[in-house]
């Protein structure tokens, strides 16, 4: 029997055979997802035994379409975007065999939600300046510090965490990457309200939190390299997602333009055309990124796509308010909500305008992303960094 990865026709047969045994209408949702993972039809490009079959990543979309057409239950990616888009590829790349077997299955089925403990009040997008400490303690680590802007922390079972383990070396070294159990008594989660009134994010306080050494991802002191792999995947996830033409905010404003000829002016027409063309270029760039990802690892181009996404969303939401004038400014629903997903298209113009401001902060600020684009894509000289060779403990705090 051949052990070669299946091609497209082979995958189609496997999906049909699977569905013949597991009727989506008659199978418990969780049991269905677990069986799909075990059949290698979750991430087809992952290795056998870890939800995949070692097939080309480009074939995943076809498999997903076949399951969707059959009415198969989804694994609610909007609820576990960090787990699926960032934690899973990091665990696959840097985890031990035991870590992969322990974490990937319940992550993919959505039984265990993940969050990301990277940002800190005193560090922000300068991840290398983080101050959360992890101190070796027997067969594990004791962690103390504070994280901020943490999506899904209030629902997460696990978190990917970067902590400083050696303050005596420069700030880009001496960090280590862990998997943190969010149910540990030393972990406290508090909601963080935004100017929309909602609380998508959290503050997370770590006070003597205990992490066993077997929950370390990568070598001690190698946390920066592991974190960079995570962030590359994050920016592709934000800026390189698939979207139809006129999907997202530009579709909302284009529809408004067509439905309300009374709002039109020549100046607004020119601005709409400019943003429509930019949105289409961003959409096609995102599609190219998806194809690039299918062919291998994500590159720094994901940062450019995320940067463009943030700028466009803010400009388009601003144009919508210009079109609607005072009608667009009304926003009076300050109900405390904890949404798992930011849905621009089904919310009010006022919400869209306020929420879009966060796009240039979350997932890496636009300032940091411009540096990445300048240095890693355009090849421009690196920004002078006076603290490059200074031990972290000697840096001004």
Tell me whether residue 155 is one of the annotated catalytic residues.
Answer: no
Under DSSP, is residue 203 helix (H, G, I), strand (E, B) or coil? strand
Q: Are strands 175-181 and 158-164 parallel, antiparallel or unpaired?
A: antiparallel
Two tokens, residue 351: 């919400």
- H-helix or E-strand containing 137? strand 133-137
Q: Which of 304, 100, 366, 123 lies closest to 224 in space, CA to CA?
A: 123
Decide if 147 contacts 188 (C-beta within 8 A): no
- Catalytic-labelled residue, pool 120, 234, 271, 320: 234
Decide if 210 contacts 140 (C-beta within 8 A): yes
Report the distance separating Cα 94 and Cα 97, nearest Å. 10
Q: How many CB atoms within 10 Å of residue 13? A: 11
Two tokens, residue 17: 């055979």
Two tokens, residue 327: 């009608």
Report the distance separating Cα 327 and Cα 316, nearest Å. 16
The two most distant CA atoms of the chain are separated, in Å, by 71
Report the distance separating Cα 33 and Cα 109, nearest Å. 6
What residues have CB less than 8 Å from 48, skipping those under 6 apart? 40, 54
Decide if 123 contacts 130 (C-beta within 8 A): yes
Report the distance separating Cα 131 and Cα 115, nearest Å. 19
Residues designated as active site = 234
């Amino acid at each position: 029997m051949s052990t070669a990865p299946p091609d497209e026709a082979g995958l189609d047969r496997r999906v049909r055979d699977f569905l013949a045994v597991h009727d989506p209408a008659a199978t418990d949702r969780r049991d269905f997802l677990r069986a799909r993972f075990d059949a290698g039809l979750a991430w087809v490009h992952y290795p056998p035994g870890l939800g995949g079959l070692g097939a080309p990543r480009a074939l995943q979309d076809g498999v997903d379409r076949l399951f969707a057409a059959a009415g198969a239950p989804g694994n609610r990616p909007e609820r576990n975007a960090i787990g699926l888009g960032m934690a899973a590829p990091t665990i696959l790349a840097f985890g031990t065999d035991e870590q992969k077997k322990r974490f990937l299955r319940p992550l993919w089925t959505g039984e265990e939600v993940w969050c990301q403990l990277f940002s800190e009040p005193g560090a922000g997008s300068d991840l290398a300046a983080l101050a959360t400490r992890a101190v070796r303690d027997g067969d594990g680590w004791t962690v103390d510090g504070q994280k901020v802007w943490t999506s899904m922390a209030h629902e997460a079972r696990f978190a990917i965490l970067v902590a400083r383990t050696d303050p005596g070396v420069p700030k880009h070294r001496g960090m280590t990457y862990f998997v943190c159990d969010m149910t540990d008594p030393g972990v406290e989660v508090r909601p963080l309200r935004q100017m929309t009134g909602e609380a998508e994010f959290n503050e997370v306080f770590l006070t003597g939190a205990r992490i066993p050494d077997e929950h370390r991802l990568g070598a001690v002191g190698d946390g920066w390299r592991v974190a960079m792999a995570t962030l590359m995947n994050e920016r592709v996830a934000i800026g390189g997602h698939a979207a139809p033409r006129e999907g997202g905010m530009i579709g909302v404003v284009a529809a408004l333009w067509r439905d309300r000829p009374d709002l039109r002016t020549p100046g607004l027409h020119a601005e709409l055309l400019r943003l429509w063309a930019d949105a289409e270029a961003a959409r096609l760039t995102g599609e190219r990124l998806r194809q690039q990802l299918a062919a291998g690892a994500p590159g720094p181009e994901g940062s450019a796509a995320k940067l463009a996404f943030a700028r466009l969303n803010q400009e388009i939401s601003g144009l919508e308010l210009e079109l609607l004038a005072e009608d667009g400014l009304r926003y009076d629903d300050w109900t405390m909500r904890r949404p798992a997903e930011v849905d621009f298209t089904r919310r009010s113009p006022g919400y869209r305008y306020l929420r879009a401001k966060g796009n240039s902060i979350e997932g890496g600020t636009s300032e940091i992303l411009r540096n990445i684009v300048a240095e890693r894509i355009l090849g421009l000289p690196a920004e002078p960094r006076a603290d490059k060779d200074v031990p972290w403990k000697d840096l001004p705090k």
